[in-house]
Amino acid sequence: MRKYIIANWKMHYGPIKAGAWIRAFRRERLPKDLDIGVAIPHISFAAARSSLGRASVPWLGAQNVCWAEEGAYTGETSPGMLQELGSTFCIVGHSERRLLLGETDEMISKKVAALVHQKIQPIICIGETEVQRKKGEASKIVRAQLTSALSGLKSAQGVDIVIAYEPVWAIGSGKPCEPNDARQMHEVARDVLKKKFGKDGETMRVIYGGSVDVRTVHEYVSTTAIDGVLVGGASLDPRAFGLVCRAASPA
């Protein structure tokens, strides 16, 4: 299975800086054995696509979506609109949206179903807080979050669903989760996928996110059960993200 390396800019880079980032990243010497994507703000899509030109890497994706296709949802963006923008994937359920913006498991489930219906790949974020881990509840929380996120689906409908295990306590902290601990949580997620989708669940990618950088990325992608990484702060500089991609390559 090819490793998946996704940059998440979060709320950084309007159209001018986004275009400059893409142009700079295209000059990087990138491994051909990875699938590389960048999750960018909606407002920057047009500039990013223009700067990407005919290049096939990186893939461009979104950081959020509304579950409704249209209607009175002021300020929201529908899956159909993401398709028009050229988004190939979309992050849903990121812990920052859960904690800061009040997203619930029910909302995330509806977003996942809406993306799958439009054939856009969802990257579903799951993960426990530090308090939950200390209480020994990490596996229970991750299992419950993922089960809920997938509850609106009867099948994957041909969409390559990706799960991103992101322990809340590791995001932006500079204290990444130990690879073996991450592997154990990925096995929990894999078990949920197999119970939900059968054989299809065996081939869906489960990636890790949380303080990933050039020093730690190889440990994660070389660990059994971890199919790639979601990179936050270390992706804001195109050269630094290029280094992360090269460090992640198994070649």
SS3 26: helix
- The answer to whether 94 is a known catalytic residue is yes
Exposure of 246 by Cβ count < 10 A (0-12 exposed, 13-18 middle, 19+ buried)?
Answer: middle
Question: Cα–Cα distance between 36 and 48 in angstroms, integer?
Answer: 15
Of 94, 96, 103, 186, catalytic: 94
- Report whether 81 contacts 107 (CB < 8 A): no
* Residue 81, φ and ψ in degrees, nearest 5: -65, -40
90: part of which helix (H) or strand (E)? Answer: strand 89-92
- The answer to whether 106 is a known catalytic residue is no
Sequence letter at residue 145: Q
Question: Cα–Cα distance between 3 and 249 in angstroms, integer?
Answer: 8
Nearest to 44 by CA among 11, 73, 66: 11
222: DSSP letter:
T
Question: Cα–Cα distance between 188 and 102 in angstroms, integer?
Answer: 25
Exposure of 7 by Cβ count < 10 A (0-12 exposed, 13-18 middle, 19+ buried)?
Answer: buried
Of 96, 103, 128, 166, catalytic: 166
* Residue 8, φ and ψ in degrees, nearest 5: -120, 105
Residues designated catalytic: 94, 166
